Structure 1
Amino acid sequence: MGVRIAVLAEPRIQQRIFGEKHWEQLSALGEVARIEQEGPMQPVAMKAVIEGADIAITSWGCPALTGDILEGAPKLKGVLHAAGTVKGIVTPEVWRRGIRVSSANGPLGRGVAETALGFTIASLKHMWWLSQSTRLGGWGSGRDKVRELYQVTIGVIGGGKAGGHYIRLLRNFDVHIMIYDPVMTAEQAAAMGAQKAELEVVLAASDVVSIHAPSLPATYKMINRERLAVMKDDAILINTARGSIVDEEALVEELRKGRLFACLDVTDPEPPAPDHPLRSLPNCILTPHIAGAVNNGVKRVGQFAIDELKRLLAGTPLEGEVREEQMSTLA
């Protein structure tokens, strides 16, 4: 009998992450069993599908893989998560059984990085204001505020999957890149094409600051009143990571002064209240958490899980492997 693959995602999520060609690829790799019952997954349905499986593919909405669920899959070698964080599904029992874990944070991070680059270019070019001015009958007023992605300093907060890809994209431009990441060495930063520095130094020196840090107790409201105050006048703050990293009350105060410009794809909480000032401040661009993957881009994570499955079966390294000791520092 070939490899048994259990797809532990409810049908609506399956439709988001897999297309017809993805199912064909999976069927070519082994026997596929999947959740067929609509609605939130129940442990009994998961146990039935995962029984005897060699590989499990999980995604958004998948409950934790408890010992009770894993009992029926003694041969399980890998959990391939076709989504971002694995914290909600991986339990100590997974590690105890020696099951390998992979996350699709990489392809999701690429989408986040591309969005951050779009915010960077549009904001430096002053496109948001110029578009509105032109729509109201103006033409050219404000061109003096246009900046190019050329010989400016870009600060990156967090050098993980998204931050790392953002830096790779920036290397196509003549810019100076600085990074704050407490778990990264200066040598690792230099290899990426960035200069490692302390957070306050990065904030003070940068024309654009893009946040790509995980949401952890240590990063809660890390961008606070004091740190916002050291940023340059007319600096641009981009947050495509987590809203909890920014002290929004302090940011509103700075934005009301007209000193900074912000592009926020995330808030805390989401969505913000209908009358929240972030919705109406003219120097704040607010988007509804679209940076990672929304529609066709979600298929990236499905293909990544399939590619990881191929690598696992071939005995080659997994690109998205997550290890137990990393869990405390992951988003």
Structure 2
Amino acid sequence: MDILVALPPGDLRESFFPPDLRARLESLGTVEWPDASLSEADLVDRIGGVDVLVTGWESPKVTAEVAEAADDLALVAHTGGSVAPVVAEAVYDAGIAVASANDVMADHTAEHTLALLVGHLRSVPALDRAVADSEWVPEDADIRTLHGAEVGLVGLGTIGRKLLDHLAPFEPDVTVYDPYVDPEALSAWPFASLGDLDAALDSSVVSIHAARTEETVGMLDAGRLSQVPDGALLVNTARAEIVDEDAMLAELRSGRIAAALDVYHEEPLPVDHELRDLDGVLATPHVGGSQIRPPLTAAVLDDVERWKDGESLEHRVPREQWATMTR
């Protein structure tokens, strides 16, 4: 089996392929590790004879031209989450299987979402600062609980489903807005029900889990954000562009709502950006699903092994899922 790794050389590739995982991949076939970044034209030239293409962040896109030149390619194995920016629909037309670490990344992102949510509700950052400043419980400490809280999920998807698993012990009242989800999809979570966007936004915690698509960019504008109740917490570990930044900043300046954020319109967040100093904002640097990398690679290698052994892929991304993934 001939395998081409399309991740560029350097720290990024080494973080996804530490020595043990590099050796594991090399045990599966003949592996080419390019010594320079590949362009789409390079990939067209080198894809001939390749059975498995391993992609990741900073890999060239598998375009229709690549798919046409790929005489033996049977599997694109992506070490990241969404494959929509990585493979063109022509890859599916060519009958090439696509797998990714989306499910595993969703586990990590849902975990981070819960950490942000609980950390903010329990005022962990403020209490930590108080203790560090030789104080005790500040008089204005706003300590709340997730137990029995009203939670609105804007979009469901893989991360939203993982988050529902994490929320179950808290027995919240969850309203899910997702026009692509059937009510039966929530049968595993009796505390959750489908509702329209108005109902999801009318919650004490609003957590965003929609994919970034043409349909969702700017979906939460000033009018929508004004529907979020006073004192509510807005959580975004999905994509910043789903929320109108100016409208969100206006709400945060007023102190009417708070926010826990892991994604931003400009990343890294500029050093002078207002979000760094606003009260009521808990901010992390887009690390929700991306920093714990070896498990992502391991999941993809599991599927490469399954493909080699003629077994079904556990992390396969069907065309229908590809169509609704973040672009």
TM-score, normalized by length of structure 1? 0.90
User: Are the equivalent residues in 2 in contact too, given 1:238–1:264 (CA < 8 A)?
Assistant: yes
Does residue 198 of the first structure (1) align with residue 172 of the second (2)?
A: no
Q: Of 145, 149, 153, which residue of structure 2 is paired with 1:148?
A: 145
Q: CA deviation at 1:22?
A: 1.2
User: Are the equivalent residues in 1 in contact too, given 2:61–2:85 (CA < 8 A)?
Assistant: yes
User: Are the equivalent residues in 2 in contact too, given 1:52–1:72 (CA < 8 A)?
Assistant: no
Q: Aligned in 2, Cα 1:246/1:43: closer, same or farther, shift over 3 Å?
A: closer
**Aligned AA for 1:101?**
V
| Separation in structure 2 between the aligned mates of residue 291 and residue 77 of structure 1, nearest angstrom | 31
| Secondary structure, aligned partner of 1:191 | coil
| Correspondence list, 1:9-28, <5 A | 9-12=7-10, 13-28=12-27
| Secondary structure, aligned partner of 1:74 | coil
Q: CA deviation at 1:70?
A: 4.4
Q: Deviations over 1:178-198 (max 9, x none)?
A: 211110011112334421111
Q: CA deviation at 1:249?
A: 1.3
Does residue 322 of the first structure (1) align with residue 320 of the second (2)?
A: no
**Alignment-derived partner of residue 189 in structure 1:** 186
User: Are the equivalent residues in 2 in contact too, given 1:4–1:31 (CA < 8 A)?
Assistant: yes
Q: Which region of structure 1 is more displaced relative to structure 2, 62-71 or 173-182?
A: 62-71
User: Are the equivalent residues in 2 in contact too, given 1:8–1:49 (CA < 8 A)?
Assistant: no
| Correspondence list, 1:159-198, <5 A | 159-193=156-190, 194-198=192-196
User: Are the equivalent residues in 1 in contact too, given 2:151–2:204 (CA < 8 A)?
Assistant: yes
**Alignment-derived partner of residue 33 in structure 1:** 32
| Correspondence list, 1:1-331, <5 A | 3-12=1-10, 13-35=12-34, 37-38=35-36, 40-43=37-40, 45-46=42-43, 50-70=47-67, 73-142=70-139, 145-193=142-190, 194-204=192-202, 206-294=203-291, 297-331=292-326
| Secondary structure, aligned partner of 1:172 | helix
User: Are the equivalent residues in 1 in contact too, given 2:206–2:234 (CA < 8 A)?
Assistant: yes
| Separation in structure 2 between the aligned mates of residue 34 and residue 51 of structure 1, nearest angstrom | 15
**Aligned AA for 1:74?**
D
| Separation in structure 2 between the aligned mates of residue 64 and residue 298 of structure 1, nearest angstrom | 21
User: Are the equivalent residues in 2 in contact too, given 1:18–1:303 (CA < 8 A)?
Assistant: no
| Secondary structure, aligned partner of 1:322 | coil
User: Are the equivalent residues in 2 in contact too, given 1:34–1:49 (CA < 8 A)?
Assistant: no
Identity over the aligned pairs, expressed in percent? 32
**Aligned AA for 1:5?**
I
| Secondary structure, aligned partner of 2:54 | strand
Q: Which region of structure 1 is more displaced relative to structure 2, 214-223 or 66-75?
A: 66-75
User: Are the equivalent residues in 2 in contact too, given 1:190–1:196 (CA < 8 A)?
Assistant: no
Listed as ranges, the gaps of 5+ residues in structure 1 are: none
| Separation in structure 2 between the aligned mates of residue 142 and residue 203 of structure 1, nearest angstrom | 30
**Aligned AA for 1:292?**
G
| Separation in structure 2 between the aligned mates of residue 67 and residue 281 of structure 1, nearest angstrom | 46
Q: Aligned in 2, Cα 1:21/1:49: closer, same or farther, shift over 3 Å?
A: farther
User: Are the equivalent residues in 2 in contact too, given 1:124–1:147 (CA < 8 A)?
Assistant: yes
**Aligned AA for 2:18?**
G
User: Are the equivalent residues in 2 in contact too, given 1:130–1:141 (CA < 8 A)?
Assistant: yes
Q: Which region of structure 1 is more displaced relative to structure 2, 211-220 or 25-34?
A: 25-34
Q: CA deviation at 1:75?
A: 1.8
Q: CA deviation at 1:119?
A: 0.6
| Separation in structure 2 between the aligned mates of residue 313 and residue 142 of structure 1, nearest angstrom | 62
Q: Aligned in 2, Cα 1:177/1:142: closer, same or farther, shift over 3 Å?
A: farther
What is the alpha-carbon root mean square deviation over aligned residues?
2.2
User: Are the equivalent residues in 1 in contact too, given 2:40–2:61 (CA < 8 A)?
Assistant: no
| Separation in structure 2 between the aligned mates of residue 317 and residue 209 of structure 1, nearest angstrom | 37
| Separation in structure 2 between the aligned mates of residue 233 and residue 71 of structure 1, nearest angstrom | 55
| Separation in structure 2 between the aligned mates of residue 66 and residue 244 of structure 1, nearest angstrom | 25
Q: CA deviation at 1:45?
A: 5.0
Matched residue pairs, number? Answer: 324
